[in-house]
Each structure stands twice: as structure tokens, then as C-alpha cells.
Chains A and B, each alone.
Chain A
Amino acid sequence: MSRKLSYVQAFNEAVRQEMAADDDIFCAGEDIGAFGGVFQSYAGLQAEFGKRRVVDTPISEQAIIGLGVGAAVTGLRPIVDIMFMDFICVAFDQIVNQAAKLKYMFGGAATIPLTITTGGGGGLSAAAQHSQSLEALICHIPGLKVVHPSNPYDMKGLMTACIRENNPTIMIKHKRLLGMSGEVPEEQYEIPLGKASVLREGNDVTVVGWGRMVNEALTAADQLAADGIDVEVIDPRTLQPLDTATIIESVKKTNRVVVVHEAVRFGGLGAEVAAQIQEEAFDYLDAPVGRIAAPFSPVPFSPVLEAHYLPSIDDIQAGIRAAVARPGL
């Protein structure tokens, strides 16, 4: 049975259903109790499950992650919330040096079934410290998994998988997608981590994007179809581990590829995708791997500046046109 839910409602339903099924799951974070979280991700959960299982914490990001790590290594299955993705920087030791490494450092003896949820992405004039897309930083750390859904259906299935996962997993909710509506089954289901989704099939060029950008890419692709450009759109959904195989398979078909992300271009995940494509499918490429991303500056505040800064549908279309304009071999 399916009905329409928003992206954030899909998140909330995944947490609620998993909590109802497993008493080892608890949630902790800033303002998530009575208030339900600044994005209402945790709305109603404290009323349903009580203060024991939905815990308002001090504004202490290091201790929030530490709470999750310590509780996970001693047998619980915590979900801890870092309100804005920018704030993971405050807790980076606990995420990078503790959560990600305990299992390995302990010779495999530890299990850390920890989900860290956070709100990422720009587009709200939230400026430089509340708008970043820092996925490249965390995808660089062995031991972590990173998930970034682009629609309500994927959100519920991926969040369910995150909670059931036995490793520290960071679920990035895109702040501009919170109200996005879509069909979501009522029953519990999982979308396996590390499996990409081909959102649109096409033969001329492959676009790889995630979060809000993959939706922008779909719009761009629909518009380009009128000009006879047949675009395939792939959403990896999980950024670590990255489903390279699905991307490579598509590139072997289309021979052209453009990667789109909100994070800055330099050192962004687009560089990793491009590198893997040239390693695995060099002989199939008819054009350099294109990258559409933010320029190398902090996220600006003024709406006119931010609109210019974030990749737009026009930018994505231009990138796609440039890729298909190259003569094939």
C-alpha cells in the first residue's frame, strides 16, 4: 500500500517503524525531543516512544557522536543527529578517529551499528556555516558509509537500511528536499547500501548526480530530450561505498559522462568518479568527463550570490551539451 509522503516524513516513518520493532534503537540529538528537530525529522517520536528513547542532548556535537559510539560498541543501535552537516566539523574526531576506526583498531572485535543523521546542502540563504555539502570529507574515511537520498521513496528505504547497518553510517538529508512529495509504501522496506539507481535511461550521455542535483539533472534531461539529446541519469544514492559498476556500465553505453554536485569542484566526489571512469573505461570515452559543481568559495548568503554559486539547470544543460558536442571516435 503506497501513498504520498514528503521526504522528511519518509525519514520519520523509517525511524518510527524501526524503533517500534527494536528496543535497542534510540535517538539522540539537539532539539529532537519535544520540538521534533529543526527539520521536524523526529517529529512525534518522543511522544510515541518516550524520553528514554528519544533524547534531547546538550549542544555538544562531540559528545553526541561519542554517546552514539559508546552506546553502539556496548550493544545498542543508536541514531544520533547532527543538526546541520556543517557541524560535523565540531565532532570530527569522534566521527573520523573513533566511530570509523574502532572496529579496525580493535582487530575486528568491535561492532558500531551507529547512524548519524544530518541536514546538508544549500539553497536556503543559510550562508557559509549552514549550507555545505561536505560528503567528500567523510567519503574519504575508511570505516564510514555515506548515504544521500534524492527522493522520498529512496529516503525511507535507505534510512531503514542505515539503521539496520552494522557500521557507522552518515545519512545526509538535503534541506531543500524536505518537502518533496512522492509515493512511499507503508510497509517497511530496505534499499541496499551501495546500489545506484538509474533514474532515467538514455543513450547519448550519462549524468551522475546525487541529492538535490540529481533532480535538477532530471529536469535538464527532460528539456534536452526536445533537442534530441537522450540523457541517462544515475543517482548513486550511497556515496560510500560508491556503485562504480553501474556508472561504468552506463559509460560503456553512452561514451560520455557529466558529474553534477553541489559541493565545490576541487577535490569533490566528481573527481573520484572521473578518475574511476578513466581507470575502468578509458577506451570507451568520446569526451572528457565533465564536472558541474560549485566554484571554490564558501557558500554565500545573498540569494543572488547563492543562486549564481549553486549549479543550476542551465549549468547542467551546458555541461551536457559540451559533452555531446565533442566528435566521437
Chain B
Amino acid sequence: MELSTDLQMDLHRRMVRIRLFEEAAGRLAEAAKLPGFLHLYVGQEAVASGVCATLSDDDQITSTHRGHGHLVAKGGQFNEMMAELMGKSTGYCKGRGGSMHISNLDVGMLGANGIVGAGAPIAVGAGFANKYSDNGNVSAAFFGDGSTNIGAFHEAANMACALKLPVLFICENNEYGEFTARKDTMAITDIVDRAAGYGMPGVIVDGMDVVAVHEAAVEAAARARRGEGPSLIEAKTYRFYNHHGVQNLGLKYRTDDEVAVWKERDPIFTFEDRLIEAGTATRADFDSIWEELRADIETAIQFAEDSPLPDPEAVLDDVYSPREEVPA
């Protein structure tokens, strides 16, 4: 597949936006400006970007506890995201959700999720609604390798296949479930082996190669839109930071050498090298993109810091929907 320059630059831009957002969130966390837990997506940018570039705002995704990248890739805006991470009233969730529940229904992002595996059944429900309404939309469930060991994933995958729903199962295999190596928690090497058990096609892609991810996602989405049912994509990838927080080296459960090997394959820098080599863009082009997006991040941090905190008296708001409210 020959990708247009515009599309390649779009994929690049999505990845850089994620990287900058996550690096900024990490710095803010270190400065004790973010309450709660922080699970950074750095290293895995090609997966969210490659998949979401083939989805519209009307297509839905479900995400994980490591969900900022998915929302950025799906079209989330820095200001509202940064404000949410700071627990401000201007955040996407008015400070009710935070990092682990960040969402924006306007761009079809049905929530990061603090429960491993829980997003997949919800994506299946969205897929059901799409098929029921015959609207041509698809849903995509992002989840990690560890997620494929939990019952909810298996139920969701089986049900999506049994009902032949337009759903993409996107496994981000970063080789670790929290602080334990994947190889210690499953007897198979490739998650994709599980696809056949449900009766759906599965494909392994290099999760550090945004073009490879995108091409697989285009094919899976097209298949879903044609009414041919779900697909599983296993993207082999790596998180550069710890399960949570901003430490990346000196961890007990993986070696610094391993981290160094994966960082050699950084999805953004390797992609930039390829585009420069192909004459698609120049170093100067990329420098100006980084500079422009860095400025956006600084604006977002300022926006978030200047934003008001939620009114404590509003803690009971939005527990229930009123009867008059008609769902979209």
C-alpha cells in the first residue's frame, strides 16, 4: 500500500502529539502537579496512531489504564486532557475521571479504563449498536497482552465473533503485564494464536512501525465495514517507562539493555528517518512540527493550571441521568 504524503505526515503528527503529551505529563507528575496514578504510553505511539488514522469520530474505541495515547490519537485536545489530569473542572470529565478514566464521546473515545480487560465487552456493545443501526461504523478495543488472560476478553471476543460484529481487537503486546513478563503468564508466544479459537483472522504487526499497524487496521476496518466480522491485530511493541510513573531504567523486572534495544526502534524517530530517506520530508519539517506541538503543550499546561478546581459541592452531580435527557 502506497500511503500519501498527507497520510504519512498525519500518522507522524499523531505520534508526536502523544509523545509530547506523555512526556509533559511525566514531568508534571515528577513535579507533584498531577494527583493519582499515571501510566505512560511512550514507546507504543505507533499502535494508537496507526489504528485511529483509519477511524472517524463516529467510530468508537475503548481503551485501557494506559489510555492517554488512544485519546490523543482519536482526536482528543491537549487543553481538556491536561486539565483532566490535573483534576480541573475544565477537563474532559470535569475532574471526575482523571488519567485512568479519561474519555471524550464526541470523538468516539469510550473511556480509558482502570479495570484490565473491561473495555473489550463495551467495544462489543458499541459494535452491536453499529450493526443494529447499520451505520457503517466500527469499534476498536485496545488492550494489552495481559488483558488476554482475563475472562472478559474471552467473552467479548467470542461474542463479537458469534454475532459477527464490526469490531477490531487491537492487542498492544508490550511484553509485560504490569510488573511481570508476559512469558511468565502465558504458555504461548503470540497473542494472535488466540484469534483462531474464536473464529476470527489474526495478524501480527510490528508495533513500532506505524505504517505496518495502519495497513493492518485499514484491512481489519474494511472487513468489519463489509459485515465480515471482527479481526485481531497483535502489535508487538514496548513501553519505555515503568508500568506507572516516570522511571524507565533500573527496574527489577526488566533489564536496561532490553530497554536500550527497544529504544533503538523508537516508532517516531525511525519513521522520521524513513521519511527523510524517501524524500517525503526534511529534518527541518520535523523540527518545525515538534516546535509547533511543543507550543500547544505549553498552552495546554497553562490552560490547565489556570483552570478552576471543581466545586466540592458538585460531587453528587452526574451520578444519575435525569429522565428528560434523551440519549444521542
Contact status A70-B124, CB under 8 Å: yes
Is residue B214 contacting chain A, with contact meaning CB distance below 8 A?
no
Chain A residue numbers with a CB within 8 Å of B120 are 66
Contact status B133-A70, CB under 8 Å: no
Is residue B111 contacting chain A, with contact meaning CB distance below 8 A?
yes
Is residue A228 contacting chain B, with contact meaning CB distance below 8 A?
no
Is residue B305 contacting chain A, with contact meaning CB distance below 8 A?
no
Chain A residue numbers with a CB within 8 Å of B115 are 93, 97-98
Chain B residue numbers with a CB within 8 Å of A145 are 320
Contact status A142-B319, CB under 8 Å: yes
Interface residues on B, range: 35 or more
- Checking B97, B130, B152 against A106 with a beta-carbon cut-off of 8 angstroms, the contacting residue is B97
Chain B residue numbers with a CB within 8 Å of A57 are 159, 162-163
Is residue B105 contacting chain A, with contact meaning CB distance below 8 A?
yes
Chain A residue numbers with a CB within 8 Å of B123 are 70
Contact status B159-A104, CB under 8 Å: no
Is residue A307 contacting chain B, with contact meaning CB distance below 8 A?
no
Is residue A111 contacting chain B, with contact meaning CB distance below 8 A?
yes
Contact status B105-A60, CB under 8 Å: no
- Checking A69, A77, A112 against B321 with a beta-carbon cut-off of 8 angstroms, the contacting residue is A112
B36 CB to closest chain A CB, in angstroms? Answer: 13
Chain A residue numbers with a CB within 8 Å of B163 are 55, 57
Contact status A107-B97, CB under 8 Å: yes
CA of A305 to CA of B105 in the docked complex: distance in angstroms?
Answer: 52
- Checking A69, A76, A111, A166 against B122 with a beta-carbon cut-off of 8 angstroms, the contacting residue is A69
CA of A110 to CA of B95 in the docked complex: distance in angstroms?
Answer: 15
CA of A94 to CA of B113 in the docked complex: distance in angstroms?
Answer: 11
Interface residues of A in 74-123 (CB under 8 A from B): 74-78, 93-94, 97-98, 102-113
Is residue B42 contacting chain A, with contact meaning CB distance below 8 A?
no
Minimum CB distance partner of B105 in chain A:
A109
Interface-lining segment among B86-94, B186-194, B229-237: B86-94
Contact status B151-A74, CB under 8 Å: no
Scoring A residues 50 to 84 as 1 if CB is less than 8 Å from chain B, else 0, what string do you get?
A: 00100101101111111111111111111000000
Chain B residue numbers with a CB within 8 Å of A111 are 321, 325, 327-328
Contact status A58-B125, CB under 8 Å: no
Question: Quick one: given A66-B120, A166-B325, are A75 and B129 in contact (CB under 8 Å)?
Answer: yes
Minimum CB distance partner of A145 in chain B:
B320
Minimum CB distance partner of A165 in chain B:
B323
Is residue B258 contacting chain A, with contact meaning CB distance below 8 A?
no
Scoring B residues 153 to 172 as 1 if CB is less than 8 Å from chain A, else 0, what string do you get?
A: 00110110011000000000
Contact status A143-B328, CB under 8 Å: no
CA of A64 to CA of B152 in the docked complex: distance in angstroms?
Answer: 10
Contact status B156-A63, CB under 8 Å: yes
Contact status B93-A107, CB under 8 Å: yes
Is residue B250 contacting chain A, with contact meaning CB distance below 8 A?
no
- Checking B95, B122, B133 against A107 with a beta-carbon cut-off of 8 angstroms, the contacting residue is B95
CA of A63 to CA of B156 in the docked complex: distance in angstroms?
Answer: 5
Contact status A58-B159, CB under 8 Å: yes
Contact status B129-A71, CB under 8 Å: yes
CA of A58 to CA of B151 in the docked complex: distance in angstroms?
Answer: 13
Chain B residue numbers with a CB within 8 Å of A74 are 60, 110, 125-126, 129-130
B187 CB to closest chain A CB, in angstroms? Answer: 23
CA of A55 to CA of B129 in the docked complex: distance in angstroms?
Answer: 13
Question: Quick one: given A98-B118, A105-B111, A107-B96, are A71 and B103 in contact (CB under 8 Å)?
Answer: no
- Checking A68, A94, A107, A113 against B318 with a beta-carbon cut-off of 8 angstroms, the contacting residue is A107
Contact status A66-B121, CB under 8 Å: yes
Contact status B321-A167, CB under 8 Å: yes
Minimum CB distance partner of B316 in chain A:
A142
Question: Quick one: given A70-B139, A110-B105, are A105 and B97 in contact (CB under 8 Å)?
Answer: yes
Interface residues of B in 106-152 (CB under 8 A from A): 110-111, 113-115, 118, 120-130, 132-133, 139, 151-152
- Checking B152, B156, B325 against A93 with a beta-carbon cut-off of 8 angstroms, the contacting residue is B152
Chain A residue numbers with a CB within 8 Å of B122 are 66, 69-70, 73, 98
Contact status A63-B317, CB under 8 Å: no
CA of A16 to CA of B124 in the docked complex: distance in angstroms?
Answer: 25
Interface residues of A in 140-176 (CB under 8 A from B): 142-143, 145, 164-167
B91 CB to closest chain A CB, in angstroms? Answer: 7
**Pairs across A and B, CB under 8 Å, 26 listed:** A52-B132, A57-B163, A63-B121, A63-B159, A65-B121, A66-B124, A70-B124, A70-B129, A74-B126, A75-B129, A76-B129, A94-B121, A97-B114, A97-B118, A98-B113, A103-B321, A104-B319, A106-B96, A106-B101, A106-B105, A107-B91, A109-B92, A110-B103, A113-B321, A165-B323, A166-B325
Residues of B within 8 A of A (CB): 60, 62, 91-97, 101, 103-105, 110-111, 113-115, 118, 120-130, 132-133, 139, 151-152, 155-156, 158-159, 162-163, 317-323, 325, 327-328
Residues of A within 8 A of B (CB): 26, 52, 55, 57-58, 60-78, 93-94, 97-98, 102-113, 142-143, 145, 164-167
